[in-house]
């Protein structure tokens, strides 16, 4: 993969996941107990052998990303030669709007000055562990101009997305941005591979002709005449574009085969910022079933069918069911939650009870005490 450079795009926002992304880009969303979404794209890049990674920072809300990635050391990207590059947005002028395409356009220098032959662009909004060397081989074997990585959706979703209709050998018959996504459709994971030359050309043309959206203006509108292919990832993938998708995908981590495939792949771990939390303490009365539990927790109560992030305290008699509980939350004695997502540093005080529903989990924002 020495001949592939990559861009991680953090600019785009999603309308259906507002509560969780008020203070952070989607890429910073905590996931599966100890990760942030950006870890999946970045780890796949690094374990596939990509060593030149540009991170397109969002217009605002970049703090959590900078704090998470820092020098890139945890991903072996703090290097003298190549490594991790932060590509900051350029302030819009003359009534222009911030957009992912604009962000890429104003950072094209970074792409052009790199000596790799191919560019892999990934939006850090999906969960996967993909070997990109296979995507490159697919791209080359098919003589493709553009390859988009897709996967078959395992649930419907209210948010819009790029859907493709794959033909023989992965050649795309039709591709469209649909307002809603349905189970079984081949949905883009936001990963595009093409030659550096073509990448620069389509970005430049699209932006200079008034474009704002990379997918629509640089890819779909210019796809005619191009050999447009899709690499269908047949392993687990989840696109996190709505709060229900966030909830369902987290709970999907309780499927042991998904957990194994994503996280225990030989030589291809999902890497994240190291915090050196101590192992989790299970105390007298702990009753934990079918749950994913991160380090640094102290559990006296009951946890079922849930994902528990780092440094969570579950006091005696407290109960967590079918919930996603993020870092540094505290459930005091006899507190009970079911079908709930708690953002970081939430405290549920003694005896309080909260219950959502499977299709409508209750969302509790950062730092809230109930």
Partner 1 sequence: MKTRCLAMILAGGQGSRLGVLTAKVAKPAVPFGGKYRIIDFPLSNCAHSGIERVGVLTQYRPFELNNYLGNGNAWDLDGRGGGVFILPPYARAKGADWYSGTADAIYQNLNFIEMSDPDYVLILSGDHIYAMDYSKMLDAHIAKGAEATIGVIRVPMEEASRFGILDAEADGRITRFTEKPAQPTSDLASMGIYIFTKDFLRDYLVEDAKREDSSHDFGKDIIPKMLADGAKLYSYSFDGYWKDVGTIESLWQANMDFLADEPPLDTGGTWRIHSANPALPPHYIGPEAEVSHALLNEGAVVLGSVAHSVISSGVRIGKGAKVTDSVVMPFAVIEDGAVVDHAILGPHTRVAANAKVKGTPDSIAVTGENEVVEAAG
Query: Closer CB to partner 1, residue 194 or residue 308?
Result: 308
Between 69 and 148, name the residue whose CB sits nearer to partner 1: 69
Q: Give which of 253, 259, 235, 265 is closest to 48, Cα–Cα.
A: 265
What is the C-alpha to C-alpha distance for residues 214 and 218, in angstroms, rounded to an integer?
A: 5
Give whichever of 57 and 307 is closer to partner 1, judged by the CB atom.
Answer: 307
Instruction: Report the residue number, 79 or 353, with the smaller CB distance to partner 1.
Output: 79
The residue written with tokens 């969960």 in the block is 127
d(CA 291, CA 300): 15
Least spacing, CB of residue 293 vs partner 1, in Å: 6
Nearest to 55 by CA among 101, 127, 121: 121
Closer of 195 and 305 to partner 1 (Cβ):
305
Q: Which two tokens stand for residue 257?
A: 């085969």
Residue 238 CB, nearest distance to partner 1 (Å)? 15
Burial class (CB in 10 A: 0-12, 13-18, 19+), 176: exposed
CB closer to partner 1, 143 vs 279: 279
- Rounded to the nearest angstrom, the gap between the alpha carbon of residue 239 and the centroid of all alpha carbons in its chain is 7
Q: Are 195 and 119 in contact (CB under 8 A)?
A: yes
Q: Closest approach of Cβ 271 to partner 1, in Å?
A: 5
User: Which residues of this chain interact with partner 1, rule CB under 8 A?
Assistant: 32-35, 43, 73, 253-254, 256, 259, 262-264, 269-272, 274, 276-296, 303, 307-309, 311
Distance of closest approach, residue 246 Cβ to partner 1, in angstroms: 17
For the bound state, the minimum distance from the C-beta of residue 166 to partner 1, rounded and expressed in Å, comes to 31
**Shortest Cβ 299–partner 1 spacing (Å):** 8
Q: Which is nearer to partner 1, 167 or 285 (CB)?
A: 285
What's the distance, Cα to Cα, between the start and end of the chain in Å? 50
- Contacts for 14-19: CB closer than 8 Å, 24+ residues apart: 14/125, 14/159, 14/241, 14/242, 15/159, 16/157, 16/158, 16/159, 16/241, 16/242, 16/243, 16/245, 17/159, 17/240, 17/241, 17/242, 17/243, 17/245, 17/246, 19/243, 19/363, 19/365
In the complex, what is the shortest distance from the CB of residue 34 to partner 1, in angstroms, rounded to a whole number? 6
């Amino acid at each position: 993969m020495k001949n592939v450079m990559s861009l991680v795009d953090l600019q785009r926002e999603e309308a259906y996941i507002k509560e969780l992304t008020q203070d952070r880009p989607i890429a910073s969303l905590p996931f599966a107990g100890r990760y942030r979404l950006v870890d999946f794209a970045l780890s796949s890049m690094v374990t596939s052998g990509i060593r030149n990674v540009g991170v397109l920072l969002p217009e605002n809300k970049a703090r959590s990303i900078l704090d998470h990635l820092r020098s890139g050391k945890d991903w072996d990207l703090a290097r003298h030669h190549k490594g991790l590059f932060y590509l900051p947005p350029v302030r819009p002028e003359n009534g222009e709007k911030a957009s992912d395409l604009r962000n890429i356009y104003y950072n094209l220098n970074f792409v052009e000055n790199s000596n790799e032959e191919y560019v892999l662009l990934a939006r850090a909004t999906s969960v996967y562990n993909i070997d990109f060397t296979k995507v490159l081989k697919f791209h080359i074997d098919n003589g493709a101009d553009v390859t988009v990585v897709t996967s078959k959706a395992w649930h419907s979703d209210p948010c819009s997305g790029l859907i493709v209709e794959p033909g023989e050998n992965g050649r795309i018959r039709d591709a469209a941005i649909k307002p809603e996504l349905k189970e079984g459709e081949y949905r883009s994971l936001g990963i595009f591979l093409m030659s550096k030359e073509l990448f620069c050309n389509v970005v430049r043309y699209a932006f200079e002709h008034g474009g704002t959206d990379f997918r629509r203006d640089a890819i779909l509108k210019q796809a005619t005449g191009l050999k447009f292919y899709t690499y269908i990832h047949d392993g687990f993938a989840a696109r996190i574009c709505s709060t229900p998708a966030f909830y369902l995908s987290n709970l999907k981590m309780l499927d042991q085969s998904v957990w194994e495939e994503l996280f225990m792949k030989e030589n291809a771990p999902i890497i994240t910022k190291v915090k050196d939390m101590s192992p989790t303490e299970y105390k007298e009365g702990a009753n934990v079933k079918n749950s994913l539990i991160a380090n640094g927790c102290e559990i006296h109560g009951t946890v079922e069918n849930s994902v528990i992030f780092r440094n969570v305290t579950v006091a005696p008699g407290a109960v967590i069911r079918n919930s996603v509980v993020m870092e540094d939350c505290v459930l005091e004695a006899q507190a009970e939650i079911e079908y709930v997502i708690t953002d970081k540093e939430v405290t549920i005080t003694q005896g309080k009870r909260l219950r959502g529903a499977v299709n409508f989990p209750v969302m509790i924002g950062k730092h809230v005490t109930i």
